[in-house]
Amino acid sequence: MWRRANSKNIKIPLFNHVKSRYLSSIKEKSVINENLNITSPPPIQLPHEADVVVIGGGSAGCHTLYHLAKRGVKAILLERAKLTAGTTWHTAGLVWRLRPNDVDIQLLANSRDMLMQLEQETGLDPGWIQNGGIFIAHSKTRLDEYKRLATVGNALGIENYILTPEETQKVFPLLDPAAFVGALYSPGDGVVDPAMLCTALTRAASKYGAKAFENTPVNDLLITTTNKGKKVIGVSTPHGDIKCETVINATGVWGRDLVEKHGSFLPLIPMKHAYIVSETIPGVRGLPNLRDHDYSTYFRIQGDAICLGGYEPNPILLERVPKDFHFGLYDLDWSVFDTHLNGAIKLCPPFGNYGVKSTVCGPESFTPDHKPLMGPDNVIIGLFHNCGFNSAGMMFGGGCGEQIALWVINGKPDLAMFGFDLRRFTETQNRASQWISEKSHESYAKNYSMVFKYDQPLAGRNFQRDPLHEEMLTKNAFMEEKQGWERPGFFLTNQALVLPYDWYGSYGNKRHKDCAYERVLEGDLKYNTFSQHHNLIGEEALACRNNAVVFNMSYFCKLFLEGPEAEKAADWIFSGNTKRDIKKTVYTCALNNSGGVEADVTISRLASGTGAAHDPKFEGQGYYIVAGGASAYYTYSTIRDELRQQNFKATVRDVTADMGVISIQGPRSRDILQKIVHCELTDENIPPNSTLLTKCRDVNDSCCEYGVRLLRVSFVGELGYELHVPKDYCPAVYKSLMTVGAADDLRDAGYRALYALSSEKGYHLWSFDLRPDDTPLEAGLGFTCRKKGSYKGKEAIDQQRKEGLTKRLVYLTLDEQIPIWGLEGVYRNDEPVGFLRRAEYAYHLRKPLAQTYLQRPDNKIIDTDYIKQGNYEIDILGKRYKAQCYLRSPFDPEGKRVLGIYS
């Protein structure tokens, strides 16, 4: 039966693929008969124990087994059916090199490097074909995005070229140069055959002592309960139990099924994902693969045919995938897939002249942010995850397989994997099925959308609201979302509310018309010009520098560490001196064994109190810990896990939702705040970096006053204070503060101003210019690392002090009024030495400012002379601009303003 798909009359045969198998092989080699041959299998003899059990024989599992075995780990892999069964066998297998994230690029580079050396190591062809890749742009804005990718690619040594349509046609002659405006060409991209790769990986792993067992389903995890919580002690199979203390879940779309019965949940949802394979098209063989992000489609070259796939706005979401859906496929729903055809024909007219040989529609696992789920489980000790690859398991498999192996062996990966770490989500998010469905749908539908620094999701909004949420809305706050929380980005003249998710008009929903929130958001979607809200945010920032503002920082992470050995625990976990007087607040870091920063926090030593939210009652010692909100659960987990590993008699409690944080910052902050607090705000009574308990009077109700915890700290480099308030009192305290501050023009400010101000001061933002692959010494935070005593990571810090630094954070400013967003390449004396980790506009300095880590091309020690003697440039959209380099931010280098010294 033939179907007329569109005006070009594409001939498309329809046939039932259910329970059939189609292997997308570059060399057109079919292994269907081999894998579906029904014979009586020999008895399976499993080992009684192993160091690590990997569950799942797809790309993720095979890569993981290989990297574990190569490092001497006694590991086995258990696959329910045959290797590549599930989602791997029908994957498109594309490998791209450029992404809008440096960690992604490094992971992809590691995957590709492994592919290129695997044949030499194993004697087996892993099915790697380097035919290059092209990104197509249909607008100048999209081409600007590609120019941004090009600059970070150049900084990281990825060969790439920005091409005109005519130059692109020379690389891919079948394209119509009138159909697009330009392209990004990466010659090192390619494609890999999944069956050949998994065979090579398991063969190589076996040489190192690992074993892979097919037809061996894992019926259940064997779990015991200890004083630390649930712990894995093995796995159960039809062929016997295997004892082990580490299990890696690499089961793809079945990733949730194994763990939910044990109280652990993954934010993962299966969806149908498809591509079609054309008939033979003359002139196709050997051409590069192609991504047309604007039309949301890709071409993968398969011999003399083109495989066409993409990301449609209405993917079919699945509840569960049957356990026996090993090599199964679904019928292709053309009402879903049709969206890809017209664009493909416009771009490549010959494609419309040929029929479709086969269709491939299988299940794939997708996540709320289109990133994999990796790292330790939140509930079960010894269980790790390496799943949820969003149809990118082949290209990320090698890099992520290596990182999960290092995670198991060393307790941490060697790259900054927070964007992949399961702990970027909270346990509440992991259980919220509607939130997961909405977010995963939006991430799927927008997978090929342009990536802008300040873009905001429309799905899953208002998931968690702080005590001042309604107050923020009455002040016309434009709300942003971070880790499920709503927070004010900046303040408008008119309201722009987030509306219920409309699924982008899919599934019978109607698209919102004239949505004020989306109209405001559109003003942020820029590359080569400043945001439309640039001046408005600048007014908030300068009000903080010149007068006073209030920041609602209620979503910030708030923890209590308490117990008989809390002091001992704090002394080990944190690099700074936490054995301070009660009321003292210390800024410090929690490190990993390599000295990298897992968290940066303020920690205050407390006396046992009344039991109120802000004044807890406890036995032993107690500490109040505050950290950034975007990494709140990660920070909590880091501390909790270290308490468990070291057997400290102490606990950590997350009280983020129990209190709000009202921060008043600026030269007038002391005078304004003094009007509502009962304590004296003198330097003697509450010096910088200290805390005390006080009360706030309600100026709108003279009968009321509220207990609060007051901290004298600043995230912006000004005289300032934070009120940590039990949630029920937050609105009254906020209103009182704004009332008494009205005469001094006190105003609200949002996180966009907050981040610009903190960057201008030279303060850090964890996961951007301070990550687990950066040490405090490299980041200019040596003062947080005490030289006496012992703490986690101290040996690495001491070694760096002795040997010197090969990487060092510096600050760069531009005289030109041009926006920078991060990832721009940095050059010293015409040599690449890094890329921008963080970029903001310094409103007080009136110029763009950025942070970057310099590394010499020869990787030798970086000293002050090397930094000062260089001439620096920043590559912005393909053009280099002269930059001034500083060891510290040029704003208030002596730190007088935070002390209240403004003369």
Task: Give residue 42's pLDDT.
Answer: 74
183 shares a domain with 57:
yes
358 shares a domain with 262:
yes
Q: Is residue 180 part of a domain?
A: yes
Distance CA 677, CA 700 (A): 14
3-state secondary structure 285-316: CCCCEEEECCCCEEEEEECCEEEEEECCCCCC
> What predicted TM-score, i.e. pTM, was given to this entire model?
0.94
Task: Give residue 3's pLDDT.
Answer: 30
CA torsion angle for 755, 757, 760, 766 (degrees, to 10)?
Answer: -30
Distance CA 269, CA 437 (A): 7
Final residue in a domain of this structure, among 654, 675, 694: 654
Task: Give residue 642's pLDDT.
Answer: 97
Which of 384, 415, 380 is CA-nearest to residue 68? 384
- Could you tell me the sign of the dihedral formed by the alpha carbons of 311, 317, 323, 324, in that order? negative
Q: Is residue 437 part of a domain?
A: no
Condensed to tens digits (0 to 9), the pLDDT of residues 425-458 reads 999 999 999 999 999 999 999 999 999 999 999 9
Q: Is residue 739 part of a domain?
A: yes
CA distances from 521 to 525, 533, 672 (A): 7, 10, 33
791 shares a domain with 726:
no
Task: Give residue 27's pLDDT.
Answer: 32
Task: Give residue 28's pLDDT.
Answer: 33
Distance CA 382, CA 401 (A): 17
Q: Looking at this protein, which amino acid is placed at residue 407?
A: W
Distance CA 430, CA 265 (A): 6
Q: What CATH number is attached to the domain comprising 709?
A: 3.30.1360.120
684 shares a domain with 632:
no
Q: Is residue 9 part of a domain?
A: no
Q: Are the beta carbons of 214 and 326 closer than 8 angstroms?
A: no
779 shares a domain with 689:
no
Distance CA 441, CA 629 (A): 25
839 shares a domain with 744:
no
Q: Is residue 249 part of a domain?
A: yes
Task: Give residue 23's pLDDT.
Answer: 35
Q: Is residue 631 part of a domain?
A: yes
Which of 651, 659, 571 is CA-nearest to residue 619? 651
Condensed to tens digits (0 to 9), the pLDDT of residues 629-684 reads 999 999 999 999 999 999 999 999 999 999 999 999 999 999 999 999 999 999 99
Tokens found for residue 370: 């289109």
Which of 94, 334, 77, 99 is CA-nearest to residue 191? 94
Final residue in a domain of this structure, among 376, 392, 422: 422
Distance CA 704, CA 314 (A): 53
Q: Is residue 432 part of a domain?
A: no
785 shares a domain with 720:
no
81 shares a domain with 176:
yes
Report the DSSP beta bridge partners of residue 361: 274
Q: Are the beta carbons of 182 and 146 closer than 8 angstroms?
A: yes
Per the structure, how many domains does the chain have?
A: 4
Q: What CATH number is attached to the domain comprising 874?
A: 2.40.30.110
762 shares a domain with 743:
no
Range of the domain at 684: 659-748
650 shares a domain with 695:
no
Condensed to tens digits (0 to 9), the pLDDT of residues 144-164 reads 999 999 999 999 999 999 999
Q: What CATH number is attached to the domain comprising 208?
A: 3.50.50.60
Positions in the chain whose pLDDT score sits under 50:
1-38
Condensed to tens digits (0 to 9), the pLDDT of residues 213-271 reads 999 999 999 999 999 999 999 999 999 999 999 999 999 999 999 999 999 999 999 99
881 shares a domain with 860:
yes
CA distances from 826 to 384, 759, 838, 853 (A): 37, 18, 12, 9
- DSSP secondary structure code for residue 48 in this structure: S
Q: Is residue 28 part of a domain?
A: no
207 shares a domain with 300:
yes
Q: Parallel, antiparallel, or unpaired for β 380-381 and 229-237?
A: parallel
Final residue in a domain of this structure, among 633, 654, 675: 654
Backbone angles phi, psi at 93, to 5 degrees: 75, 20
- DSSP secondary structure code for residue 773 in this structure: T
Distance CA 281, CA 285 (A): 8
